[in-house]
Amino acid sequence: MVQPVLQFSHTLLQQSVSHGEIVIDATCGNGNDTLFLSKLVGDTGKVYAFDIQQQAIYQTQQLLADHKRNNTILIQDSHANMQAHIGNQEIAGAIFNLGYLPKGDKTIITKKDVTISAVTAILRQLKHGGHVVLVVYYGHPGGKEEKAGLLHFAAELDQKHYHVLKYEFINQQNNPPFVLAIQKR
Ligand code: SAM
């Protein structure tokens, strides 16, 4: 069945992440992906969730509390500094939801170079078979630069080591988001 973009991003992680593992939400925003990951790794696993905005950390904290989830470490910092927080632990999977915080400040957006450096850092510690999944929104100012930079970066990854997939609806109007998925072989 053809899945909507957000559902497909979760399906990839569902297929490759097990209970007890460590995963990353690189852009927690309103916390929807964090909650999904928290359930996916179960009480024995751990989620590291990053966002630069206090509002996002607060919203995510509330959502997790509403669902009585307590296996997540919320970090108000850039995902570019991720290694300082997680050390050299193996990562089972990660998700990035790019762009701006829905219902938030539309000028605070993810940026090409920062996103690429965070993805590069995660790939070093990603388990074999694990995915870094990016949901790429690019309709906002600055979005097209990030999209172009990421596609260039991802297309250059060595196919001996990574499967790289773009999942996109090509008949939708108004810059629909797409999934860019990188799986470590
Ligand atoms: N996944 C979220 C959800 O389910 O609601 C939506 C995320 S939103 C599209 C993008 C988020 O990325 C914003 O909350 C923004 O503050 C955050 N962000 C931007 N630059 C960042 C960075 N360098 N490190 C971490 N988060 C960043």
pLDDT at site 129: 98
How distant, in Å, are the alpha carbons of 22, 139, 151, 164 from that of 155?
Answer: 26, 21, 6, 7
Classify residue 16 as exposed, middle or buried by CB count within 10 Å of its CB (0-12, 13-18, 19+): buried
pLDDT digit string (tens) for 48-83?
Answer: 999 999 999 999 999 999 999 999 999 999 999 999
Q: What's the whole-number mean pLDDT along residues 21-48?
A: 98
pLDDT at site 109: 98
Q: Name the pLDDT band for 96 (thresholds 50, 70, 90).
A: very high
**DSSP H helices in the chain:** 5-16, 32-41, 54-66, 82-86, 112-125, 143-155
pLDDT at site 37: 98
Give nearest CA residue, ligand 1 atom 2: 29
Give nearest CA residue, ligand 1 atom 25: 51
Any atom of ligand 1 within 6 Å of the Cβ of 52: yes
pLDDT at site 98: 98
What CA–CA distance (Å, rounded) separates 15 from 116? Answer: 24
pLDDT at site 69: 98
Distance 58 CA to ligand 1 centre (A): 13
pLDDT digit string (tens) for 109-137?
Answer: 999 999 999 999 999 999 999 999 999 99
Q: Name the pLDDT band for 85 (thresholds 50, 70, 90).
A: very high
Q: Name the pLDDT band for 164 (thresholds 50, 70, 90).
A: very high
Distance 108 CA to ligand 1 centre (A): 8
pLDDT at site 114: 98
pLDDT at site 51: 98
Q: Which phi-psi region, left, alpha or beta, contains residue 52 (left: φ > 0; alpha: ψ -120 to 50)?
A: alpha
pLDDT at site 55: 97
The superfamily in CATH containing domain 5-184 is Vaccinia Virus protein VP39 (3.40.50.150)
In terms of DSSP bridges, do strands 126-136 and 178-184 run parallel, antiparallel, or are they unpaired?
antiparallel
Q: What's the whole-number mean pLDDT along residues 4-16?
A: 98
Angle at 81 between CA 80 and CA 87, to 5 degrees: 125
pLDDT at site 56: 98
